[in-house]
Amino acid sequence: MDRKTLSAAFSVTIPVLMGYLAIGIAFGLMLQEIGYNFIWAFFMSLSIYAGSGQYLGVTLLSTCAGLGTVALMTLLINFRHLVYGLSMLEKFRGMGWRKLYMIFSLTDETYALLASAQAPAGVEPKRFYFAIALLDHSYWILGSVIGAVAGALIPLDTTGIDFAMTALFIVIAIDQWQSCSKHLPALLGTGATAVFLIGLGALWGQQQMLLVSLGVIVLALLLLRERLDPSQPGEEDLPC
Amino acid sequence: MLTPASAAASIAVMAAVTFLTRALPFLLFDRGERPPKLVLYLGRVLPPAVIAMLVVYCLRTTSFSSPALWVPQAAASAAVVFLHLWRHNNLLSIFGGTILYMVLVQAVFS
């Protein structure tokens, strides 16, 4: 990759550098706290590469969740990627071998950059996109390894660091609430989980009830489709 | 704690499923046909419902039997909401709330 492309991509990715280092460090600290060192952090960030997905992964590892639960929870938290992919079909066309990596590395932040960034004059757009994706991925790996190493080396009381995950989900929820015209899906998710997970979890185990909550939510959304689906064409491509 | 082999298996499943969710649109719709309406509908309404579910899931250990089991969560969550509505800066909201929570559980309600 030539220097010009790399430096053009670097200047675009600086905000993601800040964000990924911070969120990645918190991830590394949480992982270290549940007993997995920087080698685990490195391989998780290299192979999974998903912010909220890996935060959830810390909980799945610490609660020794079964592989079925792991698969289903990962699927649901990443469901939004389906929408991202749909709007990148055109952009990734003709990228050859790099396309596979572009699809793998399509995180929220990379998606946001690719959706808006324009390659400067003299820089080939496809290489520019690839450089953005590659830089973002390396920031994420770097941040999580720094976090895990710091958690192991610095005698820091990290009790309560796991709240970073709750905070991240609250932030995403607020952003979604403000960008959606209909709040029923969010209220439904809150209500169903409160009833089934908190209310009945003590009786039948929270791991099982989480899956039950999910089933109830999907079923209710399917039943409410007529109410929630926009009648005007054109609105259907907007997220939520 | 999981054995290293089970942990590696969990991570492999997370990686495979994450890649699958990212690759699915390209596998199904790269030839130009419109995705089914039901898929688009779920792609739109499921994310807010799932994120709301995860917020409740994260707060599941909250209990009103003692202030130490609900005040830190409530105060830190309120701080995240307030900071985010005020500044709309993800890092400020996440770290502000987390640091407050850590101070509360380590120093105030320890």
Residue B84: domain span: 62-110
pLDDT tier at B51 (50, 70, 90 boundaries)?
Answer: confident
Residues, chain B, total?
Answer: 110
Residue A162 domain-assigned? Answer: no
Minimal Cα distance from A83: which residue of B? Answer: B43
Calculate how close chain A gets to B39, using CA atoms only, in Å.
9
Q: Is the pLDDT of residue B16 over 50?
A: yes
Nearest alpha carbon to residue A180 among B30, B48, B64: B48
Q: Residue A232: its pLDDT value, please?
A: 47
B-chain residues within 8 Å CB-CB of A228?
41, 45
pLDDT tens, position by position, B55-70: 898 888 888 889 999 9
For an interface test with A, give the residue of B10, B24, B33, B50 to mutate (most A CBs within 10 A). B50
CA distance A51 to B38: 27
Chains A & B: contacts with CB separation below 8 Å:
264
CA distance A238 to A218: 20
Q: Are A102 and A201 in a shared domain?
A: no
Q: Are A191 and A86 in a shared domain?
A: no
Q: Residue A180: its pLDDT value, please?
A: 82
Q: Residue B58: its pLDDT value, please?
A: 85
Tokens representing B2 are 């999981």
Q: Residue A207: its pLDDT value, please?
A: 66
pLDDT tier at B7 (50, 70, 90 boundaries)?
Answer: very high
Q: What is the ipTM of this complex?
A: 0.90
Residue pLDDT tens, chain A, 240 long: 789 999 999 988 888 898 889 889 999 999 999 999 999 999 999 999 998 899 999 999 998 999 998 999 899 888 777 777 877 888 898 898 899 999 999 998 898 888 877 888 889 999 999 999 999 999 999 999 999 999 999 877 888 888 888 898 899 899 889 888 889 999 999 999 998 887 787 777 776 777 788 889 989 999 999 888 765 455 445 554
Q: Is the pLDDT of residue B98 over 90?
A: yes
* Helix (H), strand (E), coil (C) string for chain B: CCCHHHHHHHHHHHHHHHHHHHHHHHHHHCCCCCCCHHHHHHHHHHHHHHHHHHHHHHCCCCCCCCHHHCHHHHHHHHHHHHHHHHHCCHHHHHHHHHHHHHHHHHHHCC
Q: Which of A138, A153, A168 is the last residue of a domain?
A: A153
Calculate how close chain A gets to B68, using CA atoms only, in Å.
13
Q: Are B49 and B81 in a shared domain?
A: no
Q: Are B44 and B94 in a shared domain?
A: no
Residues in CB range of A157: below 8 A, 6 or more apart: B102, B106
Q: Residue A186: its pLDDT value, please?
A: 93
Residue A29 domain-assigned? Answer: yes
Q: Are A128 and A200 in a shared domain?
A: no
Q: Residue A52: its pLDDT value, please?
A: 87
Q: What total number of domains does chain B contain?
A: 2
A-chain residues within 8 Å CB-CB of B22?
78, 81, 84-85, 103-104, 106
Q: Residue A55: its pLDDT value, please?
A: 92
Q: Are B47 and B98 in a shared domain?
A: no
Q: Residue A230: its pLDDT value, please?
A: 65
Q: Are A119 and A193 in a shared domain?
A: no
Q: Are B74 and B43 in a shared domain?
A: no
CA distance B14 to A76: 11
Q: Which candidate from B23, B29, B58 shows the least CB-CB separation from A86? A: B29
Q: Are A130 and A34 in a shared domain?
A: yes
For an interface test with B, give the residue of A86, A88, A93, A216 to mutate (most B CBs within 10 A). A86
Q: What total number of domains does chain A contain?
A: 2
Report the alpha-carbon angle A10-A12-A15, nearest 5. Answer: 95
A-chain residues within 8 Å CB-CB of B56?
189-190, 193-194, 197-198
Residue A15: domain span: 3-153
Q: Are B49 and B99 in a shared domain?
A: no
Q: Residue A127: its pLDDT value, please?
A: 93
